[in-house]
Amino acid sequence: MPPESAPEWAATYLEAASSFADLVAGLPPSLSGPGLGEWDLRALVGHTSRSLVTVSDYLRRPADSVALESAVDYVASLAAAAGDASVTPRGVEAGEKLGDDPAGAVRALLDRVTADLSHADPDQVITTYAGGMRLRDYVPTRTFELVVHCLDIAAAVPARWTPPAAALREAVLLAAEVAVRRGEGAVLLRLVTGREPGGLAIV
């Protein structure tokens, strides 16, 4: 559980990270079987674990200036990097690093990032994959990744996993903002109101 003194953005992230650790603890240690796209389950879990690794690593890589002002800027920018050939092997490598005890490895990463965030400056400018960002703006992008990929893991196994309410709310709101920025807000709205196949007729 996140420290009671943690700011909301950090508490939401750490709750999602803790839920991810709990999910991995319930998986077979071999992490065999299909995952997502080119990833097997181990690579998918490894990729998801990078949402813990990067926060700790980036805190040790200060940036000189802010290139991205918000979590929306960051997530929207990732569309341009969707074809980055390095993403797939990074997930595979991260999965291999989890070793014979993936649950223990993820728990250790959780302990590390919890400790790192406990004394971090929210306004510290860090070097991220997409450029310099304030810590408090970057961390919600990791909450988003945790929610999305834990749902992927649960679907792949299959396993039952319910996202923490605050993390799910943050991820959905971020996704909506990105959709609007990309000109897809009307499509999203039609989907959630039942105007598109598979949508929910809530209005």
Query: CA angle 166-168-172, nearest 5°?
Result: 120
Residue 153 covered by a domain: yes
Residue 177 covered by a domain: yes
Structural domain total, the chain: 1
How is residue 2 written in tokens? 């996140």
Residue 1 covered by a domain: no
What is the tens place of the pLDDT at every residue in 132-189? 999 999 999 999 999 999 999 999 999 999 999 999 999 999 999 999 999 999 999 9
Q: Which domain holds residue 178?
A: 8-192
- Residue 174 is part of a domain; what is its CATH number? 1.20.120.450
Task: Identify the three-state secondary structure at position 67.
Answer: coil
- Alpha-carbon gap, residue 27 to 158, rounded angstroms: 10
Residue 111 covered by a domain: yes
Q: Considering only CA atoms, which of 137, 143, 135, 140 is closest in space to residue 58? A: 135
What is the tens place of the pLDDT at every residue in 12-66? 999 999 999 999 999 999 999 999 999 999 999 999 999 999 999 999 999 999 9
Per-residue pLDDT band for 6 (boundaries 50, 70, 90) equals confident
Assess whether pLDDT exceeds 80 at residue 3. Answer: no
Residue 199 covered by a domain: no
**Which pLDDT score, from 0 to 100, does residue 86 have?**
82
Residue 76 covered by a domain: yes
Query: CA angle 192-45-3, nearest 5°?
Result: 80
Per-residue pLDDT band for 87 (boundaries 50, 70, 90) equals confident
DSSP-derived secondary structure letter, 32: -
Query: CA angle 73-62-174, nearest 5°?
Result: 20
Assess whether pLDDT exceeds 90 at residue 2. Answer: no
Residue 102 covered by a domain: yes
- pTM higher than 0.85: yes
**What is the mean predicted confidence (pLDDT) over 96-101?**
96
Adjacent-strand bridge partners of 62: 126
Residue 2 covered by a domain: no
Using the Cα atoms of residue 16, residue 17, residue 18 and residue 23 in order, give the sign of their dihedral.
positive
